[in-house]
Structure 1
Amino acid sequence: MSISAEDAARAALRQRQGPGARYDSPNAPAKELTWARRGTAYFARVLAQLPDSELDRPSLLPGWSRRHVIAHVGYNARALTRLLTWARTGVETPMYASPEQRAAEIESGATLPARALRSLFSHSEVHLNVAWRDLPDEAWDAQVRTAQGRLVPARETAWMRTREVWVHALDLDHGASTHDFPPDLLDELLADVLRMWQRRKETVDLTIAPEGRETVVLGDGGPTVSGTLPDVVRWLTGRGARRLTSSTGELPTIPRWF
């Protein structure tokens, strides 16, 4: 039986690290954890290239500076770590005490000195990664509750973090591009947008025609929007339209992703 390049690389790494190293449990969601870890490295690279003097500039998110985005990504790692504590111990540990507490935390974090803000991101992501690595096999299927109130298995935290780090790297507005995203991640992000719309029962009449991918028809079809998959995903996730064409000449208004 053939193995993937990633599986082969993982096996080689384990051999180099020796018997004393610790690894994700066999029941861990390997693909999503790989996306999350690669996305964390991508966000870190964009952040490292961002001078302290430019942290106060606006992000792509209305009302948020780049500082707010960095604080949010850092505190999100801590919140997901709390869910893993819930999964591991069985003691209910919510992501946030309340929406108001979450918002206040981000506002406070955005005022941190630049060095402390960068440390918040780096320290919290290490803590989250250790929590993933040490989560027992059975705990990955334990039910936890998201900030939106959905009950999900703890393995969902890997996908939740994947979205955060990759897409918020775009929000820093400092050179990140969906053209840097792994192709299979782009496919899943497109599917996630559609799942969100369906969950909220949004009425959407739209045909999505990404180059090289299957056309997606929503509702009555509506206008056809075409472009590369990275550009389509950027638009669908609310991060702006670039190099897209519409059969009606203008891009339609679409519902929000989150």
Structure 2
Amino acid sequence: MIPDIARDLALLRDSTDRLVTAAARLDDAALAAPSRLPGWTRGHVLTHLARNADALVNVLTGLPMYPSAEARDADIEAGAPRPLTAQLADLRETAGKLDVTFGSLTPDGWAGRCELRNGVTDVRARIPFRRLQETELHHVDLDTGYTLEQVPMEFLGQEIDFLTRRFSGNDTVPALALTAADGRTWRTGRDEGEPLRVTGEAPALMGWLAGRTAGGGVTADGADLPVLPPL
């Protein structure tokens, strides 16, 4: 599937603006409160987003995404307690640098491959969508009132496509046939065997696939929903 770079960049800029606007409504006490991610405050989430923007600039310019897993985790822990003013400045500055880096890529640059974490590689043209995943899902994780049901439809379909491709052929995931309430269908999991029919509204399916819910709003015909491996 060839990425639509212009579409993904437009979605990303809008998503970033909405995320920053939501974060700016917090105060220092709210920033220190728990997010929806176990063990992380809202400050952890915002710091991670800033460091992820730096990391994607690294990726796009031929550098390692992070010096190490330990350095990544340490940077997030160190930045999480900062006051809101510092968090917002960091988030805006790093998002701006990433956008400038996107703007510097030539057609050949977009077509080249890059290395992400844990040996994962991808074409640079898919990096705007990968950053969009970060901004949309972590906006939900901030727990400021933004829900899976509010995620833009253009992203929602792409994300389910991405996640079902990711689990496709994975022997730890049973064969699954997913059907959204709007009629869209996906196949994922093991290649062998009669697939388990799974249905739900598209936001609920995405939340389950992305590990954001235990499967609320998603049902499986005659069986319990399987536990999916972490992303």
* TM-score tier after normalising by the smaller chain length: 0.7 to 0.9
Whether 1:183 and 2:153 are equivalent positions in the alignment is yes
Change (3 A) 1:228 1:33: same
Using the TM superposition, give the Cα deviation of residue 63 of structure 1 relative to its aligned residue in structure 2, in angstroms. 1.5
- Cα separation, 1, equivalents of 2:55 and 2:169: 23
Using the TM superposition, give the Cα deviation of residue 52 of structure 1 relative to its aligned residue in structure 2, in angstroms. 2.4
Q: 2:200 aligns with which of 227, 232, 248?
A: 227
Change (3 A) 1:50 1:204: farther
Match of 1:31 in 2: 7
Whether contact under 8 Å (1:43, 1:165) holds in the other structure is yes
Whether contact under 8 Å (1:204, 1:254) holds in the other structure is no
Sequence identity percentage: 29
Using the TM superposition, give the Cα deviation of residue 210 of structure 1 relative to its aligned residue in structure 2, in angstroms. 0.9
Using the TM superposition, give the Cα deviation of residue 117 of structure 1 relative to its aligned residue in structure 2, in angstroms. 1.4
Could you list the structure 1 runs, at least 4 aligned residues long, displaced by more than 4 angstroms after superposition: none
TM-score of the two chains, using structure 2 as the length reference: 0.87
Residue by residue over 1:33-53, the C-alpha shift from the partner in whole angstroms, topping out at 9 and shown as x without a partner, is 122222212222321233322
Q: 1:75 aligns with which of 48, 51, 62?
A: 51
Whether contact under 8 Å (2:168, 2:187) holds in the other structure is no
Q: 2:212 aligns with which of 239, 242, 254?
A: 239
- Cα separation, 2, equivalents of 1:252 and 1:132: 38
- Cα separation, 2, equivalents of 1:201 and 1:194: 13
Q: Which amino acid aligns with 2:209?
A: L
Q: Which amino acid aligns with 1:151?
A: T
- Cα separation, 1, equivalents of 2:101 and 2:206: 30
Using the TM superposition, give the Cα deviation of residue 28 of structure 1 relative to its aligned residue in structure 2, in angstroms. 7.9
Which of structures 1 and 2 has the larger relative contact order (alpha carbons within 8 angstroms, sep 6+)?
A: 1
Match of 1:172 in 2: 142
Change (3 A) 1:138 1:206: closer
Match of 1:143 in 2: 113
TM-score of the two chains, using structure 1 as the length reference: 0.79
Using the TM superposition, give the Cα deviation of residue 163 of structure 1 relative to its aligned residue in structure 2, in angstroms. 0.6
Whether 1:55 and 2:31 are equivalent positions in the alignment is yes
Change (3 A) 1:198 1:206: closer
- Cα separation, 1, equivalents of 2:123 and 2:12: 17
Whether 1:100 and 2:70 are equivalent positions in the alignment is yes
- Aligned CA-pair RMSD: 2.2
- Cα separation, 2, equivalents of 1:121 and 1:56: 16
Change (3 A) 1:125 1:201: farther
- Cα separation, 2, equivalents of 1:152 and 1:206: 25
Q: Which amino acid aligns with 2:139?
A: A
Match of 1:22 in 2: none
Using the TM superposition, give the Cα deviation of residue 249 of structure 1 relative to its aligned residue in structure 2, in angstroms. 7.2
Whether 1:45 and 2:17 are equivalent positions in the alignment is no
- SS in structure 1 opposite 2:114? strand
How many residues align? The count is: 224
